[in-house]
A and B are shown apart, each in its own frame.
Chain A
Amino acid sequence: MCLKFGFGANSLEGSSLGGNGVTNMLHDLFYGFSIALQPVNLLLCFIGVLIGTLVGVLPGIGPAGAMSLLLPVTFGISPVGAIIMLAGIFYGAMYGGSTTSILINIPGEAASVVTCIDGYQMARQGRAGPALGIAAFGSFIAGTFGVVGLMLLATPLAEIAVKFGPAEYFSLVCLGLSVLIYLTQGSILNGLAMAGVGVFLSLIGQDVIQGTARFTFGLTGLIDGVGLIPLVMGFFGISEILLNLEKPQKRAILKTEIKSLFPSWEDWRRSIKPIARGTLLGFFLGILPGGGAVISSFISYALEKKFSRHPERFGKGAIEGVAGPESANNSASSGSFIPLFSLGIPSNVVMALLLGALMLHGLRPGPLMLTEHPEIFWGTVASMYVGNAMLLALNLPLIGMWVQILKIPYKTLFPLILLFCLIGSYSVSTNIFDIYVMLVFGGLGYFFRKFNYEPAPLVLAFVLGPLLEKNLRQSLILSDGSMEIFLTRPVSAGSLLISLFLLFSAVLPSLQKRRRTVITE
Chain B
Amino acid sequence: MTYALGGNDETDAVRIRRVTRGRLLGGLMLLAAMAGVASVAIGSAAIPPDRVFEALIGHGDPIERAILLELRLPRAILGLAVGAMLGLSGAALQGFLRNPLAEPSVLGASNGASLGAVIALYFGVAEIHPAMLPALAIIGAFAALGLLFVLSAGSESALSLILAGIAVGTLAVAGVSLALNLSPNPFAAMEIMTWLLGSLEDRSFTHVMLALPCIAVGIVLVAWDGRALDALTLGEDGARALGVDLRYTRARILVGIAVGVGGAVAVSGAIGFIGLIVPHLIRPMTDRSPSAILLPSAIGGAALLTFADVLVRVIPTSSELKLGVVTAFLGVPVFVVQLMRERRSW
Do A and B actually bind?
no
- Chain B residues with a Cβ under 8 A of chain A: none
